[in-house]
């Protein structure tokens, strides 16, 4: 039963990893940009929530409604002012600019909030759980996290395939020149995509902050988890990314059962195994 | 029969001057232990280490488009090979330096088959994952102190040099030797037919491939060279520190972020770039060292600004203005127009 428990908890944590990954995947899909600062933006959102909660005494989970719009606006501005200038045939500028941004955010957070680890307290919901059978119960918070991940990915999927905005985004993703000829404003669309990505980042950041301790140096590892979920699930497939997150979460939970030192290692090894034997991921997008 | 109407030249007037200055500089550095104090020697040693790492990273990213954020994997690996060889196999530490290079070269081949499956920016994060795996494995190595690391036993430290001065001189000269060897290797590699292939790849991968360049093997060769070099430099870093731990050995900030900033600021894809970048990096560091974490913020902002407004770096700006090539790797065609009746 201990093992079943580990697997169930791993699945639920996988939802958080999928949230880390969804924003990353969205940006890559629309403009082939891999945002190295993605993990640091998640941590930045966690700190924004911390400030918001300290100032207003709001419940951390409700702080999402303050942080997400703010984060989305910041994302729009980032894209217009920074990333749009780097997009082109050469992959170096966006990569190095986002890498520089990552170092800047990490050290700015270090400067403002110090290296102490923090945590958001969401109250009673943190310890509430639903008993399933003897020795196995599901925490309300992890469950909420998982359901949020499903809803977020469902919403992104709907936005992409059933709305005019999604059609525009897919059009620029397929061929930006033709999309421009059709009257789409690419720079605006890219900025919208970044805004959506950072709204998802805000959700992920708040769940991260409620679930565990966080400090300014945590970003790169969140980026790596998100990235591994994307690759395991298969590029360009959002539901695949959810599956990738779940597989990563379960691998880490099982690794931790063997030896606490193996928790992260087990996740990385599953990723490397997928890369070795099925580099296109488990559920690659099938183009019609 | 008349002679050819053109000649091919590689050297330029300024490159001859640069060569003289490089040799003079090398002479000054080689005699360093006789005229520098201990602090300057340590600073120069660090300078050489970053110069070597940046030149190797420039080779990867600037010439083959392989933007690795995971070279700290091999820096740390080199350090651990040194400690392992010295502590468990009784290998003299200085001899362990080439062993670190050779084992890293061997290790980098299977790793390259994994990470080369990822393209562009995903390659960058993939190499980072590999470095994380190396770090986690090193943390599991209990004989090496696990996560908290280990110091080099005093008997081994003595075997490098019996006094502190002698030891520091030996490490200094070895560092100088390895860095100069790395720079010469990079230069010769870029001047060889592989170098021509690499520059073709840098300019257009598709065009290079269709001209008969084997893009995959050229990139793999480069990756192996860069990893072996990073491991040798890594073994020297931790020989000088006398202590190794997973977090210092596989630090992404120390061994990759700084190196990327140096190369970007100096001029990526230019052999002179890392030299200029390392000089600027140390000037900035020595003037801003009181700032603590904001020093990294400044450095990051400078690198982002350079990438946005002068993507060819400082050396690119100089080159555009004066057309200098201090270490020419290409060939120039000189038409013999003053010859009669060609």
- Domains of chain A (ranges, CATH numbers): 2-122+136-277 (1.10.3470)
Q: What average pLDDT does this structure show over A258-275?
A: 90
Asked if A272 lies within 8 A of B303 by C-beta distance, the reply is no
Q: In this complex, do B136 and A33 lie within 8 Å of one another by their Cβ atoms?
A: no
Query: Do A228 and B129 count as a contact with CB atoms less than 8 A apart?
Result: yes
Instruction: Check A275 against B118: CB less than 8 A apart.
Output: yes
Tell which wins on pLDDT, B115 or A135: B115
pLDDT by residue (tens digit) across B150-195?
998 888 888 888 888 888 888 999 999 999 999 999 888 888 888 8
Any CB–CB contact under 8 A between B307 and chain A? Answer: yes
| Mean pLDDT value across residues B203-214 | 82
CB proximity B110 to A under 8 Å: no
**CB of B268 less than 8 A from some CB of A:** yes
Q: Is the pLDDT of residue A127 over 90?
A: no
Domain assignment present for residue B184? The answer is: yes
Give B68→chain A minimum CA distance, Å: 11
Residue B342 has pLDDT above 60, yes or no: no
Q: Is the pLDDT of residue A85 over 90?
A: no
Q: List the domain range (segments joined by +) for residue B88.
A: 38-252
Query: Domain tally for chain B?
Result: 1
Q: How far does the CA of residue B264 sit from the closest CA of chain A (Å)?
A: 8
Q: Do A36 and B268 count as a contact with CB atoms less than 8 A apart?
A: no
Query: Has residue A109 got a pLDDT over 90?
Result: yes
B120 occurs within a structural domain: yes
For residue B195, being part of any structural domain is answered with: yes
Task: Give a yes or no: residue B26 inside a domain.
Answer: no
Q: Which residue of A has its CA nearest to B263?
A: A96
Contact between A268 and B132 using a beta-carbon 8 Å cutoff = yes
Query: What does the pLDDT read at residue B318?
Result: 84
The fraction of chain B above a pLDDT of 70, given in percent, is 94
Contacts of B20 (CB under 8 A, 6+ apart): none
Report pLDDT digits (tens) over A28-58: 888 888 888 999 999 999 999 999 988 888 8
Chain mean pLDDT for chain A: 88
The per-residue pLDDT for A199 is 95
The position carrying tokens 């001209």 is B211
pLDDT digit string, tens, across residues B84-98 = 999 999 888 889 999
The reply to whether B323 falls in a domain is no
Mean pLDDT of A75-88: 88
Across the interface, whether the CB atoms of B296 and A103 are under 8 A apart is answered yes
pLDDT at A89: 73
Contacts of A101 in chain B (CB under 8 A): 300, 304
Q: Which residue of B has its CA nearest to A280?
A: B117
DSSP track, A236-271: T-HHHHHHHHHHHHHHHHHHHHH-GGGHHHHHHHHH
End-to-end CA distance of chain B: 9
Q: Is the pLDDT of residue B50 over 60?
A: yes
Please indicate, yes or no, if residue B297 is contained in any of the structural domains: no
With cut-offs at 50, 70 and 90, classify the pLDDT of residue A286: low
Q: Is a pLDDT exceeding 70 seen at residue B3? A: no
Give the chain A residue whose CA is nearest to the CA of B311.
Answer: A93
Average pLDDT over residues B17-44: 84
Chain B: give the shortest CA distance to residue A73, in Å.
21
Inspect the interface and report whether the beta carbons of B307 and A100 lie closer than 8 Å: yes
Shortest Cα–Cα distance, B338 to chain A (Å): 42
Q: How far apart are CA B171 and CA B260, in angstroms?
A: 25
ipTM of predicted complex: 0.86
Percent of chain B residues past pLDDT 90, beyond the cut: 35
Is the Cβ of A3 closer than 8 Å to some Cβ of chain B?
no
Residue B54 has pLDDT above 90, yes or no: yes
* Beta carbons of A3 and A177 less than 8 angstroms apart: no
Minimum mean pLDDT among A269-273, B24-28, B127-131, B261-265: which range? Answer: B24-28
**What pLDDT was estimated at residue B179?**
93
Nearest CA in chain B to A267: B133
Alpha-helix residue ranges (DSSP H) falling in chain B: 13-30, 32-35, 38-58, 64, 72-88, 93-115, 120-140, 154-160, 164-191, 193-203, 205-210, 215-241, 246-249, 252, 258-266, 273-288, 293-309, 313-322
- Please indicate, yes or no, if residue B192 is contained in any of the structural domains: yes
| A196/A133: higher pLDDT | A196
Q: Is B77 in contact with B134 (CB distance < 8 Å)?
A: yes
Question: What pLDDT, on the 0 to 100 scale, is given for residue B118?
Answer: 85
- Which among B125, B303, B304 has the least Cβ separation from residue A34? B125
Give the nearest partner residue to A107 out of B67, B125, B297, using CB atoms.
B297
State the average pLDDT over residues A132-161.
Answer: 89
Quick check: helix, strand or coil at residue A138? Answer: strand
> Average of pLDDT values for A220-238?
89
Categorize the per-residue pLDDT at B225 as very low, low, confident or very high, splitting at 50, 70 and 90: very high
Q: Is residue B135 part of a domain?
A: yes
How would residue B341 be classed by pLDDT, with cut points 50, 70 and 90? very low
> A104 vs B304: CB contact, 8 Å cut-off?
yes
**Residue B76 pLDDT greater than 50, yes or no:** yes
| Six token digits for residue B259 | 């190196």
- Within 165-204 of A, beta carbons closer than 8 Å to B belong to none
B199 or B48, higher pLDDT: B48
Share of chain A above pLDDT 90, in %: 46
**Residue B151 C-alpha, separation from nearest chain A C-alpha, in angstroms:** 22
Q: A114-118, B211-215, B298-302: which range is least confident on average? A: B211-215
Query: From the candidates B115, B125, B147, which should be mutated to test the interface with A, based on the most A CB atoms within 10 A?
Result: B125
Q: Which of A107, A113, A260 to mutate to test the interface with B (most CBs of B within 10 A)?
A: A107
Contacts with B175 (C-beta within 8 Å, 6 or more apart), sequence order = B45, B48, B49, B233, B236, B240
């Amino acid at each position: 039963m201990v093992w079943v428990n580990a697997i169930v908890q791993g699945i639920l944590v996988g939802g958080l990893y999928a949230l880390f990954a969804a924003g990353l995947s969205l940006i890559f899909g629309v403009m082939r940009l891999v945002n190295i600062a993605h993990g640091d933006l998640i941590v930045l959102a966690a700190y924004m929530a911390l400030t918001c909660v300290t100032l207003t005494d709001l419940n951390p989970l409700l702080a999402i409604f303050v942080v997400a719009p703010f984060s989305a606006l910041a994302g729009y501005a980032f894209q217009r002012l920074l990333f749009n200038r780097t997009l082109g045939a050469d992959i170096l500028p966006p990569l190095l600019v986002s890498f520089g941004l990552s170092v800047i955010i990490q050290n700015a957070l270090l400067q403002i909030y110090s290296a102490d680890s923090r945590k958001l307290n969401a109250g009673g919901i943190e310890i509430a759980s639903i008993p399933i059978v003897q020795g196995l119960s599901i925490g309300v918070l992890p469950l909420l996290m998982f359901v949020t991940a499903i809803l977020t990915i469902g919403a992104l999927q709907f936005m992409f395939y059933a709305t005019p905005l999604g059609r525009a985004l897919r059009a620029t993703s397929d061929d930006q020149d033709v999309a421009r000829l059709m009257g789409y404003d690419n720079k605006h669309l890219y900025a919208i995509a970044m805004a959506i990505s950072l709204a998802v980042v805000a959700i992920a950041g708040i769940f991260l902050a409620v679930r565990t301790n966080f400090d300014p140096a945590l970003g790169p590892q969140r980026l790596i988890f998100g990235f591994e979920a994307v690759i395991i699930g298969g590029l360009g497939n959002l539901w695949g990314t959810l599956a990738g997150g779940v597989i990563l979460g379960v691998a880490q939970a099982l690794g931790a059962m063997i030896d606490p030192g193996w928790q992260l290692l087990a996740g990385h090894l599953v990723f490397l195994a997928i890369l070795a034997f099925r580099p296109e991921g488990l559920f690659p997008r099938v183009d019609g | 029969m008349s002679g050819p109407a053109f000649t091919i030249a590689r050297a330029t007037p300024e490159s001859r001057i640069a060569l003289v200055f490089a040799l003079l500089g090398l002479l000054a550095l080689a005699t360093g232990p006789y005229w520098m104090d201990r602090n300057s020697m340590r600073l120069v040693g660090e300078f050489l280490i970053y110069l070597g790492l940046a030149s190797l990273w420039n080779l990867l990213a600037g010439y083959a488009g392989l933007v690795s954020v995971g070279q700290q994997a091999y820096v740390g690996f080199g350090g651990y090979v040194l400690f392992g060889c010295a502590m468990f196999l009784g290998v003299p530490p200085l001899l362990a330096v080439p062993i670190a290079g050779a084992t890293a070269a061997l290790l980098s081949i299977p790793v390259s088959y994994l990470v080369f499956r990822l393209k562009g920016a995903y390659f960058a994060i993939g190499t980072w994952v590999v470095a994380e795996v190396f770090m986690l494995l090193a943390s599991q190595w209990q004989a090496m102190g696990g996560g908290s690391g280990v110091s080099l036993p005093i008997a081994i430290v003595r075997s490098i040099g019996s006094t502190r001065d002698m030891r520091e001189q030996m490490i200094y000269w070895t560092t100088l030797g390895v860095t100069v060897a790395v720079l010469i290797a990079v230069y010769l590699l870029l001047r060889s037919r592989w170098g021509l292939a690499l520059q073709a790849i840098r300019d257009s991968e598709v065009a290079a491939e269709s001209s008969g360049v084997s893009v995959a093997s050229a990139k793999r060769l480069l990756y192996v060279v860069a990893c072996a070099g990073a491991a040798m430099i890594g073994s020297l870093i931790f020989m000088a520190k006398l202590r190794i731990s997973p977090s210092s050995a596989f630090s992404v900030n120390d061994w990759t972020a700084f190196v990327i900033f140096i190369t970007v600021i100096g001029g990526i894809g230019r052999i002179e770039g890392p030299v200029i970048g390392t000089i600027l990096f140390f000037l900035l560091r020595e003037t801003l060292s009181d700032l603590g974490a904001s020093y990294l913020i400044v450095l990051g902002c400078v690198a982002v600004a350079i990438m946005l407004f002068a993507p060819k770096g400082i050396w690119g700006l100089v080159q555009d203005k004066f057309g200098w090539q201090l270490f020419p790797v290409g060939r120039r065609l000189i038409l013999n127009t003053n010859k009669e009746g060609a």
